[in-house]
């Protein structure tokens, strides 16, 4: 229920059903009763009134949408006055079609990421997880301003200021998010507004760009030879079962060991790992092999598609041994997947199975907190030892600082110097 504005000049509470104003004391002029008993409470609206200077008695009014807070109504009154002043108090000059609401732009943005109702040239293909993270971030922003009384259905994108960003900032901190999650939420909103400016030609500033993000300093973690050997030993049908709050679950898959080995030997991300084919192995010269794969992550960021930049994974001695074990000589001319999948199994299921399987079995192999992506970091760290700054040629990173910050374990590099002598 809307609160009577009391003595705030320029704001009235009006019933759109009976067209009567409601007094500051909360009494309806039509019935003489308190508005708490009014059957048309959902028809109450704040009405803005601005007097025209040098024109005694003439007022220009504007009715605000439902579910408007008094705080937001006061802010709208100030904007209304400024608009009238700019237009020399000509009411028709400001009765133009309003820009679409922020939520309308948000729907279009999420559609452009997932490819729904969007022309091909505007699609920015992203993974299902990325789209889900963006949707959650935008939904939380809408919830945060809604809690402050903003009319979500009519709040416009061009009304976005540092004030709303501040509301979102406080809301995220109340949720107890860590620095990384907070940065992802702010980054998602920043990307959304940037998209509206670039693609939808919105002449607005991006207040989310004003947020200074702090990042957590986290040492990249790699798996040791002993831990990896132990991991392969514990992977079995019997040890793959566990009980959660609902039922007994089973993470075991016959191809998990192969998937883990291929991951640590090639350094490929999950999606490349489960989609790479035997025909992607190229013989540069007799005995010299590489695996040609699309750099999916970089391509999707750069041009919104899966194709574009290609990286070549070196077939090392140990990777060659694994490929031969999997039947390289017989399969190298075929188009089958290197990580053979059961019929009808889709890529998403296999990627999730790799992550869940690793998370389950690594607890039985190590006391350290390791994730599936540690296998890629292990590969990259070992490549840096062998190739130095040239490692980026095989990992797809154009920036060596990214490698050093997120992928290379300085602890392992230091440990590798145990036999080194200064003199």
Would you say 354 and 270 are in contact if contact means Cβ atoms under 8 Å apart? yes
For residue 111, tell me if it sits in a domain. yes
Average pLDDT on 51-68 reads 74
pLDDT the model gives residue 34: 79
Which of 94, 121, 142 is the last residue in one of the domains? 94
For residue 219, tell me if it sits in a domain. no
pLDDT the model gives residue 361: 95
For residue 421, tell me if it sits in a domain. no
Query: Is the same domain home to 141 and 45?
Result: no
Task: Using pLDDT thresholds of 50, 70 and 90, give the confidence band for residue 288.
Answer: confident
- Give a three-class secondary structure readout of 204-271: CCCHHHHCCCCCCCCCCCCCCHHHHHHHHHHCCCHHHEEECCCCEEECCCCCHHHHHHHHHHHCCCHH
Residue 117 belongs to domain spanning: 102-210
* DSSP string for 57-95: T-EEEEEPPSS--HHHHHHHHHHHHHHHHHTTT-GGGG-
Closest by CA to 305, choosing from 294, 314, 289, is 294
Task: Using pLDDT thresholds of 50, 70 and 90, give the confidence band for residue 1.
Answer: low
For residue 3, tell me if it sits in a domain. no
Rounded Cα distance, 239 and 247, in Å? 16
End-to-end Cα separation, the chain, in angstroms = 81
For residue 422, tell me if it sits in a domain. no
For residue 217, tell me if it sits in a domain. no
Structural domains counted in the chain = 3
Query: Is the same domain home to 90 and 119?
Result: no
392, containing H or E segment: helix 392-395
Query: Is the same domain home to 90 and 109?
Result: no
For residue 43, tell me if it sits in a domain. yes
pLDDT the model gives residue 407: 44
Considering all CA atoms of the chain, what is the largest pairwise distance in Å, rounded to the nearest integer?
Answer: 99
Query: Is the same domain home to 278 and 367?
Result: yes
Q: Is the per-residue pLDDT at 138 higher than 60?
A: yes
Between 172 and 18, the more confident residue is 172
Query: Is the same domain home to 229 and 193?
Result: no
Rounded Cα distance, 205 and 240, in Å? 52
Q: Is the per-residue pLDDT at 299 higher than 70?
A: no
Average pLDDT on 256-264 reads 95
Query: Is the same domain home to 151 and 284?
Result: no
Task: Using pLDDT thresholds of 50, 70 and 90, give the confidence band for residue 246.
Answer: confident
Q: Is the per-residue pLDDT at 268 higher than 80?
A: yes
For residue 406, tell me if it sits in a domain. yes
pLDDT the model gives residue 81: 85
pLDDT digits (tens, 9 = 90+) for 303-350: 667 777 888 888 888 999 999 999 999 998 899 999 988 877 888 899
| CATH label of the domain that carries residue 199 | 1.10.150
Query: Is the same domain home to 396 and 252?
Result: yes
Which of 178, 210, 242 is the last residue in one of the domains? 210
If DSSP codes are grouped into helix, strand and coil, which group holds residue 101?
strand
284, containing H or E segment: strand 281-285
Rounded Cα distance, 237 and 227, in Å? 19
| CATH label of the domain that carries residue 393 | 1.10.443.10
Query: Is the same domain home to 264 and 121?
Result: no
CA distance to 26, 38, 199, per residue, from 30 (Å):
12, 10, 50
Average pLDDT on 11-22 reads 77
Query: Is the same domain home to 157 and 242?
Result: no
Q: Is the per-residue pLDDT at 13 higher than 70?
A: yes
Rounded Cα distance, 240 and 253, in Å? 9
Q: What is the dihedral of CA 21, 22, 23, 26, to 10 degrees?
A: 180
Q: Is the per-residue pLDDT at 388 higher than 70?
A: no
pTM for the model: 0.54
Between 415 and 162, the more confident residue is 162
Which residues have a Cβ under 8 Å from the Cβ of 23 and sit 6 or more positions away?
Answer: 4, 29
Phi, psi torsion values for 140, nearest 5 degrees: -70, -35
Which of 210, 237, 263 is the last residue in one of the domains? 210
Query: Is the same domain home to 117 and 33?
Result: no
pLDDT digits (tens, 9 = 90+) for 88-112: 776 544 333 345 789 889 988 888 8
Query: Is the same domain home to 80 and 107?
Result: no
How many Cβ atoms sit within 10 Å of the Cβ of residue 417? 8
Query: Is the same domain home to 89 and 107?
Result: no
């Amino acid at each position: 229920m809307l609160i009577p504005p009391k003595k705030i000049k320029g704001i009235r509470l009006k019933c759109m059903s009976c067209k009567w104003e409601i007094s500051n004391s909360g009494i309806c002029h039509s019935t003489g009763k308190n508005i708490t008993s009014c059957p048309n409470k959902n028809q109450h609206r704040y009405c803005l009134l601005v007097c025209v200077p040098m024109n005694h008695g003439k007022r220009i009014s504007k009715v605000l949408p439902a579910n408007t807070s008094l705080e937001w109504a006061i802010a709208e009154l100030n904007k209304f006055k400024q608009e009238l002043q700019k237009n020399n108090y000509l009411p028709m000059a400001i009765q133009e079609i309003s820009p679409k609401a922020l939520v309308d732009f948000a729907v279009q943005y999420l559609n452009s990421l997932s490819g729904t109702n969007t022309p091909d040239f505007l699609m920015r293909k992203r993974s299902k997880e990325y789209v889900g993270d963006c949707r959650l971030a935008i939904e939380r922003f809408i919830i945060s301003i809604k809690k402050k009384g903003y009319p979500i259905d009519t709040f416009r994108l061009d009304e976005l200021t540092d004030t709303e960003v501040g509301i979102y900032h406080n809301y995220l901190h109340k949720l107890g998010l860590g620095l990384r999650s907070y940065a992802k939420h702010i980054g998602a909103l920043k990307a959304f507004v940037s998209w509206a400016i670039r693609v939808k030609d919105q002449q607005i500033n991006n207040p989310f760009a004003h947020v200074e993000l702090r990042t957590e300093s986290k040492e990249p973690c790699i798996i040791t030879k002993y831990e990896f050997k132990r991991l392969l030993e514990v992977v079995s049908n019997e040890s793959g079962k566990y009980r959660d709050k609902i039922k007994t679950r089973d993470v075991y898959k016959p191809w998990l060991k192969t998937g883990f080995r291929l991951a640590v030997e090639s350094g490929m991300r999950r999606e490349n790992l489960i989609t790479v084919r035997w025909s992607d192995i190229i013989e540069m010269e007799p005995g010299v092999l590489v695996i040609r794969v699309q750099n999916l992550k970089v391509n999707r960021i750069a041009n919104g598609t899966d194709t574009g930049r290609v990286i070549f994974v070196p077939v090392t001695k140990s990777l060659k041994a694994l490929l031969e074990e999997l039947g390289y000589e017989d399969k190298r001319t075929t188009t089958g997947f290197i990580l053979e999948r059961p019929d009808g199994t889709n890529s998403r299921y296999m990627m999730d199975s790799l992550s869940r399987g690793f998370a389950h079995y690594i607890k039985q192999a190590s006391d350290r907190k390791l994730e599936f992506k540690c296998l890629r970091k292990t590969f990259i760290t070992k490549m840096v030892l062998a190739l130095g700054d040239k490692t980026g040629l095989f990992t797809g990173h154009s920036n060596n600082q990214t490698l050093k910050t997120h992928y290379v374990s300085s602890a392992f590099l230091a440990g590798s110097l145990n036999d080194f002598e200064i003199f």
